[in-house]
Amino acid sequence: MSEVVRFAVVGTKSIGRNHIEGIHKTKEAVLTAVCDIREDVAKKTAEKNGLDHYFTDFDEMLAAGGFDCVVICTPDQCHTEQAVKALEAGYHVLCEKPLAMKLEECQQIVDAAKKSDKYFMVGQVCRYTPAFLLMRDMVARGDIGEVFYVESEYAHDYSLIKDAEWRKDPVYLREPVVGGGCHAMDLLRWIVGDPTEVFAYSNRKVLTDWPVDDCTISVLKYPNDVIGKVMVSIGCKRPYTMRTQIFGTKGTILGDNKSDSITLYKAFEYADTGKTSYVPTQIPVVVNNHNMAAEIQDMCNVILGKMPLEIDAVQGANTVAVCRAAVESAATGLPVKPHYFK
């Protein structure tokens, strides 16, 4: 097998650019095709990346070929159709989060991925954020004892995003807890497992002209009697952050996606007085909030047979399942058990 993976990127405006940078940073990856329905965007991306052609039609790009893996960076509502088409055309796929907006769409992708002999990975990029990787490792090796409570958030001010039209489409509702909140939901699933039940409240006080509630608070029950909370706001007046706290029987870890250290609290007993204090230890971490290079590296390793696929279609679908349960709970006022995929 060739030691190089050829990538095509569809949707090359914002996060698509991060993926292209990730491809350039990865030894085994090469960019061979780009596609965007906006010709100006596609043309500019091709020129900037030394490609002598570009596509504005996804089907044409699939038919032309010349790549092994398609990276889907289009709006959420395009993921299902493009994912299924790319798999059926015989390509590996790396699809941006959320896998899809609705459970039926997730099912279509899961089915297509199962039918295909190609790899399908979901870009849950928080699993590549250095701070979160360290926090998860610390939990796994027992640094804070047994976890009993977790919390995370997706706090972002979408009023600052230019060209936010698809994010506020009144027909194809992009629920914030699915669209962006999937980061925090996925992070906690990854650390403590699949929640068995979700209860949520939501409101709309900031982005009052948007078609969805802009703030949701979810309370979750996880395996091993762990409980948790996830706050999602797309109108909050604060820089984008995912502040995350993990409470264990022997210590507590605080971290986020934007700071250059995480904090570990552990009990310290003074020998002279016998008094106990909680002394914080700052542990330095690299700040890399959109670590697409690591994602692309893993995708290459998977395709080249060097590692198993971890964030597959079922993983992506199960994160959407938790998010949809929160949406349903906020709408009905009842606790909801997520519908998980196998």
| Positions in the binding site for ligand NAD (CB under 6 A) | 10-11, 13-16, 35-38, 41, 58, 73-76, 78, 96-97, 123, 125, 163, 179, 290
CB of 77 or CB of 261, closer to ligand NAD? 77
CB of 149 or CB of 166, closer to ligand NAD? 166
CB of 5 or CB of 100, closer to ligand NAD? 100
Q: How far apart are CA 10 and CA 70, in angstroms?
A: 7
Q: State the nearest-atom distance from the C-beta of 57 to ligand NAD, in Å.
A: 8
Contact yes or no for 19/45 (Cβ under 8 A): no
Q: State the nearest-atom distance from the C-beta of 263 to ligand NAD, in Å.
A: 24
Q: State the nearest-atom distance from the C-beta of 264 to ligand NAD, in Å.
A: 26
CB of 16 or CB of 248, closer to ligand NAD? 16
Neighbours of 164 (CB within 10 A): 15
Q: State the nearest-atom distance from the C-beta of 37 to ligand NAD, in Å.
A: 4
> How far is CA 59 from each of CA 49, 64, 77, rounded to the nearest angstrom?
22, 9, 17
Phi, psi of 2 (to 5 degrees): -60, 145
Contact yes or no for 295/317 (Cβ under 8 A): no
Side chain identity, residue 251: G
Q: How far apart are CA 187 and CA 242, in angstroms?
A: 10
Look-up: residue for tokens 């230019």?
A: 162
Q: Which of 129, 233, 106 is nearest to 177 (CA)?
A: 233
CB of 35 or CB of 321, closer to ligand NAD? 35
Q: State the nearest-atom distance from the C-beta of 286 to ligand NAD, in Å.
A: 17
CB of 56 or CB of 263, closer to ligand NAD? 56
CB of 15 or CB of 336, closer to ligand NAD? 15
The DSSP secondary-structure symbol of 76 reads: G
Neighbours of 176 (CB within 10 A): 27
Q: State the nearest-atom distance from the C-beta of 18 to ligand NAD, in Å.
A: 8
User: Packing angle between helix 15-25 and helix 39-48, nearest 10 degrees?
Assistant: 20
Q: State the nearest-atom distance from the C-beta of 113 to ligand NAD, in Å.
A: 17
CB of 38 or CB of 221, closer to ligand NAD? 38
Q: State the nearest-atom distance from the C-beta of 208 to ligand NAD, in Å.
A: 22
Q: Which long-range contacts (CB under 8 A, 24 or more apart) does 255-259 make?
A: 255/131, 255/132, 255/134, 255/135, 255/285, 256/131, 257/126, 257/129, 257/131, 257/132, 257/287, 257/289, 258/287, 258/289, 259/131, 259/285, 259/287
